[in-house]
Amino acid sequence: MSYLDKVIERRDAVKVEMDAILEAVAAENRTDLTNDESAKVDALVEESRSLDSKIEKLTAQAAADAKASEARAAVADVVMPKVGGATVTREARTYTPENSDVSFVKDAFAAKFSNDYAAQERLARHTKEEEVERRSVGTGNFAGLVIPQYLVDLAAPLARAGRPTADFATNKMLLPPAGMTLNISRMTTGTSTAVQAAENDAVSNTNADDTLLTVNVRTIAGQQDISKQAIERGTGIDQFIIQDLIRGWHTTLDNQILNGTGAGGQIQGLDGTSGTNVVTFTSAAPTVELLYPKLADAYQQIQTDAFMNPTHWVMHPRRLAFLLAAVDGSGRPLVVPTLNGPMNSVATGAGQAYYGNSGYSMMGLPIVADANVRTDAGAGANEDRIYCVTAPEFHLWEQAGSPFALNFDATGAGSLTIKSVVYGYAAATAGRYPGAFSIVEGTGLVAPTF
């Protein structure tokens, strides 16, 4: 069974499950669904939409593949009639790490400044390849050149903190094609219900009111001046320059989601969002034992204020190490692997810490280790923070394919200098329900010693 068949089979199962719920409601002569039934139907509708989208994309891809195979076979028959049983099943992409004969950066430069027809043809072919490979992100609408995917995936020469927090955000969406703001209506005054004291008495009545939550679209960009000699005579420019700019873009986005102030072109990050729960941990001699109640407070405040269940902890790797290093009065670690059957532990894990998704959990919530968490907070500029977050209320919009453009501007023609620019657009907010997030801060979170 193909992957498409499995998706279709699951879509059919979702329909059967949804029909069963609605038929049960109809059989009981009810017009309203219970809260559990409504939640289940909403989840099934959301899953069915996701499956429908997958089916549409996979079907379109299958049709395109079949059409391309037919065209390839027809051309092959005309140019070189079949004399044996060999069939071409795969054609190499234009730009790959293994193909050292051509360079994306060199071709981009040659196409723009030298009117190199061969370079233009390779870039055009690469764009067509990207339209097939990444059809869902709309490469045909890109304002600049589509950067080869292998330049994004290969290891960068400079270590970057990456985007652990941005990647677990549940509500990741594409930015609309135009506009620099997104507007969300937030109800600030709700309707009211109350017991009717006596028959014919006026029932409770409160006028609902809302306010506008404006989310600004922000530009994240980076540039690098490259000598013309490096582009024309060098090797590996793609990896060293473009890839580092791309990874830097993603790291900046993650940093902004956590620390952005909302001013000066910044994203309104968690630290800059008004209305989040703040828990202060004050201690001159901090321990995990003293920290733990503060974490529980951060957890309960989300349930109390937003009536939601938090989903993740986000902390700096040094704070995760602080937990891992803690021991009880007998020298036994407080954070232990689940396979050892832990007793009285504050957290558990797979036995080894990983960057990003650490593999550890606390109070039933997975711990995300993110080095973009600031470590210069507080009066002494040496405190980090711990975030208790509700992932479904992390809303992140990114431009399709961002960072997607590579521009060359001959700003230093007199010195044979070419400027390379990578940029993209993004917007994020935790402001729809600020109470769905808690921030633990204070002198108890100064740099730990080991």
pLDDT digits (tens, 9 = 90+) for 128-141: 776 655 543 333 33
The percentage of residues in the chain with a pLDDT greater than 90, rounded to a whole number, is 41
Q: List the one residue out of 26, 21, 71, 76 whose CA is nearest residue 45.
A: 21
Measured in whole angstroms, the distance separating CA 10 from the mean position of its chain's CA atoms is: 26
Return the higher-pLDDT residue of 401 and 329. Answer: 329
Token reading at 103: 């360079």
Bigger pLDDT: 71 or 276?
Answer: 276
What is the pLDDT, as a whole number, of residue 155? 47
Segment 45-72, tens digit of pLDDT: 888 888 888 888 888 877 777 776 776 6
Q: Is the pLDDT of residue 319 over 90?
A: yes
Give the pLDDT score at 66. 75
Rounded mean pLDDT, 173-183: 91
Q: Specify the range with the lowest mean pLDDT, choosing from 86-90, 105-109, 264-268, 300-304.
A: 86-90
Q: Which is higher by pLDDT, 99 or 180?
A: 180
Structure token pair of residue 59 = 């079907």
- Give the percent of the chain with pLDDT over 70: 81
pLDDT (average), residues 264-289: 95
Cα separation values, 375 from 274, 321, 443, 448, Å? 21, 14, 12, 11
Angle at 295 (CA atoms; ends 164, 373), nearest 5 degrees: 30
Average pLDDT over residues 360-381: 93
CATH number for the domain whose boundaries are 155-450:
3.30.2400.10
Q: Which residue has the higher pLDDT, 144 or 254?
A: 254
Distance CA 63, CA 66 (A): 5
Query: Which has the minimum average pLDDT: 75-84, 172-181, 276-285, 327-336?
Result: 75-84
pLDDT of 163 over the 50 cut: yes
Output the average pLDDT for the chain. Answer: 82
Model confidence at 187: pLDDT above 70: yes
| DSSP secondary structure, 252-304, as one string | HHHHHHHH-BSSTT--B-STT-TT-EEEE---SS--HHHHHHHHHHHHHHHHH
User: Is 445:375 a contact under the CB 8 Å cutoff?
Assistant: no
Return all residues near 306 (Cβ < 8 A) that are at least 6 apart: 390, 393, 433, 435, 436
At 15, list the tokens: 């329909």
- Three-class secondary structure of residue 32 per DSSP: coil
Q: What is the dihedral of CA 58, 64, 66, 71, to 10 degrees?
A: -170
3-state secondary structure of 219: strand
Delimit the domains of the chain by residue range: 3-79, 104-146, 155-450
Q: What is the mean pLDDT of residues 346-357?
A: 68
Candidate from 211-220, 311-320, 328-337, 344-353 with smallest mean pLDDT:
344-353
